[in-house]
A and B are shown apart, each in its own frame.
Chain A
């Protein structure tokens, strides 16, 4: 697992956001397309790709893609 692969899986969840604008430091909560469905989809993606279940608390506290990556990595 590396951050680029993670970023790739994450950007794949979006339809209308230009993937090239997303970096590990992007605050995804600021994105126009961010929604409760995308929050749920992010958790499902992490479960499907890495077999890691983030808690509601963890998802709520994370703001950047890198934070999600670190949380996921810690649980693998």
Chain B
């Protein structure tokens, strides 16, 4: 069968946060769809594991702490002109409002909001996004679709990204660049391991999902593939909710 509107054949795609979870699943799935991927993360061993699982040839890996301005700038300099970027690296937080520290607020905004915005800026400034390229942000249902106790910092960082995404979609449309986000509910990755919830809480929380479970990283990756592929050529400024029905 050759009919495949979702193919990424011939596309060069940069994936941040590819050493774990959603970014890892996305990088691997993109390679299976025919893309050459450039993966980045901080942990050397785990990034190598992702690299080893990539199919096909022409892939690259770059270790980078993206909150370090020099490393972020270098990343944008070293990559070839891209057909796609998945701004996916991110961190979580569970802090009741009365315990918010300014430094925690700064850290989460730095990783989840400022890094993707500045990487976008650098790539555009250095003319690294081809005409027809697709930019995807891994946002969240937290902020634009749902709220929860202890989630203010995370929500703020992700709502800001959705605001950026929509404005960028309008501004970059004339360059033929599309900009969208995926907005997952709870997905089984290491980002949720730190949180204070117990196994019972998790079971109770899962029951709130009409589809009765959390998502798997691949289920987010497939939506990202849609947004990277030409199948979504007329889609820009969209926040694509993937949450097992949670926010209904």
Chain A positions within 8 Å of B, measured between CB atoms, are 36-37, 39-41, 43-45, 47-48, 56-57, 59-60
Alpha-carbon distance A37/B149, docked complex (angstroms): 6
Residue B99 at the A interface, CB < 8 A?
Answer: yes
Closest 5 CB pairs of A and B: A60-B198, A44-B99, A40-B150, A41-B96, A37-B149
A40 touches B149 (CB 8 A): yes
> Known: A36-B149, A37-B149, A37-B150. Is A60-B98 also a contact (CB below 8 A)?
no
Alpha-carbon distance A37/B196, docked complex (angstroms): 10
Q: List 9 A-B residue pairs with CB atoms under 8 Å apart, sorted by A's residue number.
A: A37-B149, A37-B150, A39-B196, A40-B95, A40-B96, A47-B99, A48-B99, A56-B195, A59-B198
Query: Smallest CB-CB separation from A45: which chain B residue?
Result: B99
Seed contacts A44-B96, A44-B99, A47-B99; 15 additional CB < 8 Å A-B pairs: A36-B201, A37-B96, A37-B149, A37-B150, A39-B196, A40-B94, A40-B95, A40-B96, A40-B150, A40-B196, A41-B99, A45-B99, A48-B99, A56-B195, A56-B198
A57 touches B198 (CB 8 A): yes
Chain B positions within 8 Å of A, measured between CB atoms, are 94-96, 98-99, 149-150, 195-201
Least CB distance, B153 to chain A, in whole angstroms: 12
Interface centre among B94, B149, B198 (most CB of A within 10 A): B198
Task: Enumerate chain B residues within 8 angstroms of A48, measured Cβ to Cβ.
Answer: 99
Alpha-carbon distance A60/B149, docked complex (angstroms): 17
Q: Is the interface of A mostly helix, strand, loop or mixed?
A: helix
Q: A60 contacts which of B95, B99, B150, B199 (Cβ < 8 Å)?
A: B199
Task: Enumerate chain A residues within 8 angstroms of B149, measured Cβ to Cβ.
Answer: 36-37, 40
B96 touches A60 (CB 8 A): no
Task: Enumerate chain A residues within 8 angstroms of B99, measured Cβ to Cβ.
Answer: 41, 44-45, 47-48
Least CB distance, B132 to chain A, in whole angstroms: 45
Least CB distance, B102 to chain A, in whole angstroms: 13
Task: Enumerate chain B residues within 8 angstroms of A40, measured Cβ to Cβ.
Answer: 94-96, 149-150, 196
Query: Smallest CB-CB separation from B199: which chain A residue?
Result: A60
Task: Enumerate chain A residues within 8 angstroms of B196, measured Cβ to Cβ.
Answer: 39-40, 43, 56, 59
Least CB distance, A5 to chain B, in whole angstroms: 18
Query: Smallest CB-CB separation from A43: which chain B residue?
Result: B196
Least CB distance, A18 to chain B, in whole angstroms: 21
Query: Smallest CB-CB separation from A36: which chain B residue?
Result: B149
Task: Enumerate chain B residues within 8 angstroms of A37, measured Cβ to Cβ.
Answer: 96, 149-150
